[in-house]
Amino acid sequence: MQVDLTADHFTLFGLERGFALEPADLTARYRELQQLLHPDRFAAASEAERRWSVQAAGRVNDAYTTLKAPLRRAVYLLSLSGVDIDEESDTRMDPEFLMEQMELREGLEAAGEADDPRAALAPLNERLRTMAETAQGRFGEALAAKDLDAARTEARQWQFVDKLRREAASLEARLDA
């Protein structure tokens, strides 16, 4: 198992490149690396070593953040295969899917103005959660089948759903405050 700070995230963590990964393995590896590289280990060292450590630890944090969250990991995997999920040239999206997104968005706005916003949000959150799970599953399958086009489509749809979920979470945060 090599440690190469300029390699891709999977190589850095000594993990097989792929969508499926064991969170416990990732976390264990992350901690191992930080035990070695973190600025806490270099506080008594020279200025240059300390500067290097800040960069190295930052690199490891970046990789961990990317690999830990399923959607980020998905987008990253696509980028490793040369697929840019946001490329302008191909913005076709399934019209049915877009309609659904619009409905969900309107539902979210309505929930915010409802008498009991939290109650209104609950079914919406559940639906979004299921949609995200489905997208995640389909992405995994497409990638395993080496169908990059399908994988890209799934990932883009997943991104839409994720954005809505985050907006729902923001709404909840505002309600809580």
Q: Does residue 36 touch other proteins according to CB under 8 A?
A: yes
Q: Hey, is 88 helix, strand or coil? A: coil
Q: Which of 20, 22, 44, 116 binds other proteins (CB under 8 A)?
A: 44
Near other proteins in 83-122, by CB under 8 A: 84-86
Stretch that binds other proteins, among 62-70, 102-110, 130-138, 146-154 (CB under 8 A): 62-70
Smallest Cα–Cα separation from 75: which of 138, 19, 14, 13? 19
Q: What is the DSSP string of 28-84?
A: HHHHHHHHHHSGGGGTTS-HHHHHHHHHHHHHHHHHHHHHHSHHHHHHHHHHHTT--
Which residue, 88 or 96, has its beta carbon nearer to other proteins? 88
Residues that bind other proteins (CB under 8 A): 1-6, 31, 34-49, 51-59, 61-66, 69, 71-72, 75-76, 79, 84-86, 159, 166, 169, 172-173, 176-177
